[in-house]
Amino acid sequence: MSELLTAAQMRAIEQAAIESGEVTGLELMERAGRGVVEAIFEEWPELGEERGRAGDSGKPESSNTEKARRAVVLCGPGNNGGDGFVVARLLQGRGWDVEVFLYGDAKKLPPDARWNYERWVEIGAVEALEEYAHSDGWQCDVLVDALFGTGLKRGLQELSNLFWNMEDMVDCFDVEFGHERGRPAIVAVDIPSGVCADSGCEFEHEEVWHRFSAAAHLTISFHRAKVGHILGEGAKRRGKLRVVDIGLEDTQSRHLWVKNCAPEVGDDVALWRVARRSLVKEVGAIHPSFICKRSDSHKFSHGHALILTGGSGKTGAARLAARGALRVGAGLVTLGVPPSAQQEVACQITALMLKRVADGERLSAVLDDARINALCLGPGMGLVRARELVPVALATKRATVLDADALTAFAKGPETLFEMLHEKCVLTPHGGEFAKLFPDIAAKLAEVPTKGPAYSKVDATREAAARAGCVVLYKGADTVIADPSGRCSVNAAVYERAAPWLATAGSGDVLAGFIAGLLARGFAPMAAAETAAWLHVECARAFGPGLIAEDLPEILPKVLAGLAE
């Protein structure tokens, strides 16, 4: 899994590297600008064909009659703008015609940005952003957004028309180079301006109550992706994401950054633990050895999951979950059904087993079998049945997934549920269920921010996990998973990993089953939730359009086989 950083964490890492003497701010800015230019040419190789040659002054000398490529670079008042001046200089050095616009006063630029501004004005002009006609954006090959990056913490009404124009160019037209009225590639430096790097939110202006942010076809981030790249509007606005290495891996600077995370902690091992918990991870591809079964084992070696169903006519969701648990590798899966549904379920299953669970007393008797080591309650269960059986299940302290009705059943008194939960539990709410269990947290998350850093889905899930005392998986295209210690990861189904086909009835039930199956196999709750969420998206991507929930468990073997290729 790769790290995702907040704006403050990225600044701290850069500052630690500078303080350690490993690198200067100017060197980092030069590397960043060079990384942007290289990423542009990697993404659109046709733009890398030089049409002119830089002379001694840095100005291009045309080497053929072909018209030079044209770029417009929008620079802001901070170090993001400094990166933009480097980009402008390097593009002009490759024979491009480059026009630069500055938002703010050049005299107030930070020292490193000011230095690169001075280098640029030796070879090119800088105009005020107010002079930028939006049509200029249509008449270039590349439009570079180096206005604010991760530094913006408020809405900017005066840039709303500019941002809307950029949104239109991204949403309405494909990139197409080479005409008088071209369709430029829009490139954001670090993150599209107006998007909160910590939350993916767009900032609302305090007076006009509108949200504004730019958009891009390509976003180049430095060192690590930021949390805002994969949450909320950030995932929609950033286009394709490339992460550029700018040389911040030195052990000395990383140690200094870790110490800055918690200066009150003296022990180095404890420091690393604190620092690691503060980071958000993006769930990545699973290594085959992590999910494969042992060869010297039998069915009970891989666990026994019990999935509890609802009454007659309400068993489909639990059967989907059970199928998911079986396919993900649980050695045995049993459906616990009320008497009214026993015949219905018996007619529908083959590899699954069946036990009559009429009430809490009967569930307690079934759970006398110590080989049952994972439970799943909620899918199609019904609220009355959930209120009776959830306390019995949780009292056994077995690994337990609570979904759907097992969550909604306690909406009027979530504290009752929290008192019963334990560290082996995983809650899997969607947005509506989350709001019922954690109404105050959901209200904070729903507030439209006017200032940053904005409260994020990561913040909300961490707070919910701490309150519940167990792992919380907050579902969505940007699924966030957190445990009570603060560890947090994001499984993002966005851009190239988008899986819109998961928006279908029953897909969440299968996810609950995947988690239960992995818990039965002995996975820790956090690992089970992360692995299941990743497999869930990969199954949807492998199947594609036309997906229904039943397809998810059936395509899983293909996904698992592909991990070894």
User: Which parts of 147-232 are beta strand (E)?
Assistant: 185-189, 203-204, 211-212, 218-222, 225-226
- What distance in Å separates the CA atoms of residue 90 and residue 468, rounded to the nearest whole number? 52
Q: Is 317 annotated as a binding residue?
A: yes
Q: Is 476 annotated as a binding residue?
A: yes
Q: Quote the CA–CA distance of 521 and 8 in Å, as a whole number.
A: 39
Report the alpha-carbon distance of residue 182 to residue 176 in Å, rounded. 6
- Angstrom distance (rounded) from CA 101 to CA 94: 20
- Reading the block at residue 249, the tokens are 């891996």
Query: What's the CA gap between 526 and 457, in Å, rounded?
Result: 17
Secondary structure element (H or E) that encloses residue 128, with its range: strand 126-128
Is 479 a known ligand-binding residue?
yes
Ligand-binding site membership of 509 (annotated): yes
3-state secondary structure of 308: strand
**CA dist., res. 521 & res. 302, Å (int):** 5
Residue 506 among known ligand-binding residues: no
Ligand-binding annotation for 364, yes or no, is no
Q: Was 477 annotated as part of a binding site?
A: yes
Q: Confirm or deny that 309 is annotated as ligand binding.
A: no
Element (H, E) at 479: strand 478-482
Annotated ligand binding at 240? The verdict is: no
Q: What are phi and psi of 34, to 5 degrees?
A: -65, -40
Is 82 assigned a ligand-binding role in the annotation?
A: yes
CA distances from 377 to 327, 350, 408, 533 (A): 18, 21, 12, 18
Q: What is the 3-class SS of 491-525, one letter each residue?
A: EECCHHHCCHHHCCCCHHHHHHHHHHHHHHCCCCH
Strands 60-62, 332-337: parallel, antiparallel or unpaired by DSSP? unpaired
Question: Whole-angstrom Cα distance, residue 2 to residue 10?
Answer: 14
Give the residue among 277, 201, 278 at the shortest CA–CA distance from 9. 278
Consult the annotation and say whether 193 binds a ligand. Answer: yes
What 8-state DSSP symbol labels residue 299? Answer: G
The binding site for K(+) consists of: 80, 145, 193
The binding site for AMP consists of: 475-479, 508
The binding site for (6S)-NADPHX consists of: 79-83, 190, 317, 380, 430, 509
The binding site consists of: 79-83, 145, 190, 193, 317, 380, 430, 475-479, 508-509
